[in-house]
Each structure stands twice: as C-alpha cells, then as structure tokens.
Structure 1
C-alpha cells in the first residue's frame, strides 16, 4: 500500500486529492497538512511513502519543507512529489534543487495523478508536460564544475543509452520497451547509474543527461 501525506493549505483541495487518491486500491492518504511545518511533524509520526506537496503555503513553504525533509534522517529518503499551480522557472528549479522527486501542475487529471504517485513511490521522476524542458533550459545556462565528458566518463555504451532515455523522462517500463530489456533490467541499470554518477535520485539523472548533452533540449 502506498501511503501518501497530502500537504496543501486549502482544505477543499486536500479533500479533493484524498478522494482522487483513495479511488485507487493501492493508495491510502494517511494524513493531511496545511503547511510545511505540519508536514514535517506528521511525516515523522506517520512515515508516508510519498509526500504530495504544494509550494505556496504559510508558516513554511513547500521549498523550505523539501529542504527540511532532505535534512531529516528519518525522512530524507521519502519521495516528495510537488503539486502546484505555478510553473515559473524559479519555482521549478528551486524545488528540484531542494530535493523534489517530481513536479506536477494542478490541472493534472485523476488517472495521471495516481500514476505519478505510484511512480514516485517506485523512485521515478515525474514532470508535468513542458516543465522538464523549461527546467533543462534554465539549468543548461548555469555554470558547471565539470566538462560534459567528465560528467559521463566511465559509463558503458548501454549505460549511456539508459541515461539518455532517463533524460527523456521515460519510466523503467518504457525504457525496457525502447531498448528491448525487461523492466527489472532497466531498473537495475538505473540503480547502477545512481551509484556511478553519485546522483541522489532519478531527477538528478535527468539533469545530468541534459547537462552532458545526451538529450537535445529543443527536441519535441
């Protein structure tokens, strides 16, 4: 069972998200928080599988809460899936840099929201359409300490293929179909990439793939 903690300052929206998520047999909303500080307290108490978090909240914003979650030994490994109205460059980049595992907009439909929660619980990055490209265009303009060659030095040809497909936002199942691998094999390669590249999560692999030039940010 995937245990979700819903974090949003609007009660009506929390009620709607609970109804949507609990429409799935494998998802349970274990708690609700109205700001980041409540999310931290309830997270330590309830130990959810996934935080589903808004950004613009009183007392402690979503960005602040994500950083605090990543700094908390009890919660650091818990995926945080952002669900917000805002897709401004600064919000996207700050959330991912803080440690968010995905970034969704509130116009998402119920089926895709439930799918995104499942993927987040399985360690997969989720991005709203258009947000990934926006984030990559912004990050591509930032200075880096390593050259493109240094970033991916030591990867095998197959690992480069996997990293490229991760950079395109594909799931393990989609990577498997594209490269004629089982989903389990694709997952093993992704885990290996996390270790070899020192990446915290799949979202960082996406950043590395784009920064290393494996994915064309202008491609459709």
Structure 2
C-alpha cells in the first residue's frame, strides 16, 4: 500500500513552490528588515571646533551643530580614532594636522633638505617625518616632545646609540625602539597616549608602531633636525 502524502503546512508550502516553479514564477520572499538609523551625534562644542570645521568644509562659527558632529565623527572613523563620538578634542585635532601635512610636510621649508636621510621633528605641529632630498621616505606621524623646563633640544643631532628594549635609568619606564640623539634624549615608542601629560621629559615620543617603523628605517649616524616650540611651552 502506497504511503499517504503529507497534508500539513510544510507539504502545502512545498506544493505551492512546485506550482510556481512550473509557472516560471518565484515564491514570495520575506520583506527585508528596515535599515537601522544612524545613532544621534550629541557631542558638544570642543576646543578645536573652528579648526575641524574649517578642515571638514563646515561653516566656521565655533559652535557644534548636529551636522558638525556627524562630520567630525566620520573623520574620526576614517582615521581609526576611538571613541568616534564627534567631539573635536586634542586627539582629533592632532590627527587633522597629520592628515593635512601628508601631501607636503615640508612645504614651509623648515626642515633642511639634504642628499642623505634627515629625520625632521617639527615641535610647532608635533610631527615627525623622514626625508631624503625632496622625497619623503616616512610620512608624517604624531609625536610628543618635551614639556616646560625639559624641552627637546632644537638644532642638528645624529643618532649615536640604539636600544630596542631600553628602560629609562631615571624613571624606570620602558622606551621601546629607543634611538638616542642628544645627551640622553631619544626617539622612542610609548605605551601611553601622546596627547596628555603636558609633554615628555625631553625625548621625542611616538606610538610604538611608528617607533618600530622609524627603527627599521634609521641607523647610527643618521641626521635629526629639531625646530619650533611645543604648544603650551615657553619660547
């Protein structure tokens, strides 16, 4: 005796699908879920409001609007800043300086051009890059130079000692990828933020990934040129 065909909901759906297929039609699909709206951006006016408004092509009035907040948040996301909250604070402003400098970091000609490699440390903008002749071989990255009374010494220097896993003998703090250039002052990585604390104790601090890139590029005897004044310190 032949088995009885199913008559439940599953069988009925299957039969409908078969009939539609024979007719060259497609079974109806479930409606797509509605897209989730972008979350509100409510960050207030920040200390670098005008600078970010100008950079992002917003009306420059120094007052945060919802559109300003969304534009700043998009910039933060595009440049890997966290949290991306839309607040135009110091970290966002410093990132803006890096982005602005990338096409031509030495446009003002402050870092001398030489046929050999020169590591340029711009204390005005708190940027570092490496150039050789007219070519930039390491694009600009953010740095933190010395605070008041422990300023990074300006002028020409050269790398005289390198220590990949150095620990400060004065402060006991790690100085990864340290490259010393003047009386204990060094280019080196830091585990903390580059945007707080008022400055270093005279060294040029970089993020650890940037310090490693610089370590892989430079060698003892390489030239370093430092100029300018760190914002917030005395001339």
TM-score, with normalisation over the residues of structure 2? 0.28
The structure whose residues are more often helix, as a share, is 1
TM-score, with normalisation over the residues of structure 1? 0.29
Question: Which of structures 1 and 2 has the bigger CA Rg?
Answer: 2
